[in-house]
Amino acid sequence: MSLGHRRAWSAVLLAGVLVLAGCTAAPEPPPAPVVPPPPVGGGPPAPGSDGLPRQAFGAFLGSDSSGVEAIGGFEQFLGRPTTVGHTYLPGETWEGIEGPEQILGPWSRWKAEHPGDLFVLNVPMAAPNEAEVGDAEVADLLRRGAAGEYDRHYAELARRLVDRGLQDAVLLPGWEMNGDTYTHRCEPDPEAWKQYYRRVVDVLRAQPGQRFRFDFTPSRGVDAISWPQCYPGDDVVDIIGMDTYDQPPGASWEEYVGQQDGLGDQARFAAEHGKPVSFPEWGLFRYGDNAQYVRDLHAWMASQDTVYSTLTDYCPHGVYRCTQNPQAADAVRELFGTTR
């Protein structure tokens, strides 16, 4: 199933990314290793041997200061402090990808007040990133990026992140590269995409003082291309992420796990490459109040070597600001909050 969407700069300030996922069933994978479930109450989760936390939780509530200001209300709804802040850089212009003050400023102040929490930042690899750009033009852009034409923009982003105390951010360059929503998609030239991703990481790592971690995050399922074909290499990836919503309609949890390039394949791929996993975007898609999806996904994330997950909390996907999902809201409070 293919589902495209386009998000303008104003929507970036309010919204995360919709996910593309297929529904082809495959044999259910063997059980993944079980790790402790998310902690209840305050305090950051205990780190793994890689220095990253485990089972950290938060929500995307807005890209700029509105997202930071909404965290307190979400924590009251949840009944516990969150341990992840998540936002997106705008992809309309290269100046936006360099990290504008209206995005990085509020989050740097949040980080200074919550130094133990995880800061997660989606980084576009093209501008404009949500325009109707054809495959030939995308392929040319990827090749130019791989040749270093856009290095200066990522060098500036790295400098700004370190200067603002965000030197330990988890960065998601080129997220959902397996779909057709973004200009930074992989399918038009997978080899150039991988080389370009590697170059972006190299430029960001060249900034003195940085301790960035890099999260390779496709959307669940096969879309324009099978996401393992876009994997750029273990040396430039720290986490294997996946964006997952309860779609397509009528699909079962077993299909979400067992489909090609689904949750089961993410778990196996990460284990084979010695990486933990993450779920940077999850929530309800647009098919109604689905508390069972929340329960199934929570159990799955708790059974994996999960660094973090962030709920996409804007309508129709969320539970805090979406009154149409009361049963899912109760499930989120029960499983991710303090109530039992």
Length of the chain counted residue by residue:
340
43-99 per-position pLDDT tens digit: 556 788 899 999 999 999 999 999 999 999 999 999 999 999 999 999 999 999 999
- 3 pLDDT exceeds 80? no
What is the rounded average pLDDT of the residues 182-203?
A: 99
| 313 found inside a domain | yes
DSSP state of 280: E
Asked, for residue 207, whether it belongs to a domain, the answer is yes
Q: Does some domain include residue 24?
A: no
Residues 6+ away with beta carbon under 8 Å from 289: 324, 325, 326, 327, 328
| Confidence check: pLDDT of 10 > 60 | no
Query: Can you tell me the distance from the alpha carbon of 306 to that of 309, in angstroms, rounded to the nearest whole number?
Result: 8
Q: How many angstroms from the chain centroid is the CA of residue 311?
A: 10
Domain that holds residue 297: 46-336
Q: Per the structure block, which two tokens stand in for 163?
A: 């200067």
Q: What confidence category does residue 100 fall into, taking pLDDT thresholds of 50, 70 and 90?
A: very high
Number of independent structural domains in the chain = 1
Single-letter residue type at 215: D
Instruction: Decide if 194 is inside a domain.
Output: yes
| 11 pLDDT higher than 60 | no
pTM: 0.87
Confidence of residue 225 (pLDDT cuts 50, 70, 90): very high
Q: How many CA atoms lie within 13 A of 80 on its CB side?
A: 24
Residue 248, preceding peptide bond in cis (omega within 30° of 0): yes
Kind plus residue range of the DSSP H or E element containing 302: helix 291-303
Percent with pLDDT over 90 in the chain:
80
CATH code, domain with 239: 3.20.20.80
Q: What are phi and psi of 257, to 5 degrees?
A: -80, -45
Q: Could you tell me if residue 283 is inside a domain?
A: yes
pLDDT tops 70 at residue 188? yes
Ranges 28-37, 53-62, 181-190: which has the least confidence: 28-37
Q: Does the residue 167 lie in any domain?
A: yes
130 in any annotated domain: yes
CB atoms under 10 Å from CB of 258, counted, come to: 18
Read off the pLDDT of residues 101-124 as tens digits, 9 standing for 90 and up. 999 999 999 999 999 999 999 999
In a domain, 12, yes or no: no
> Residue 188 carries which DSSP code?
T
Mean pLDDT, the chain, whole residue set = 89
Report how far apart, in Å, the C-alpha atoms of 315 and of each of 21, 137, 287, 295 are. 19, 33, 12, 19
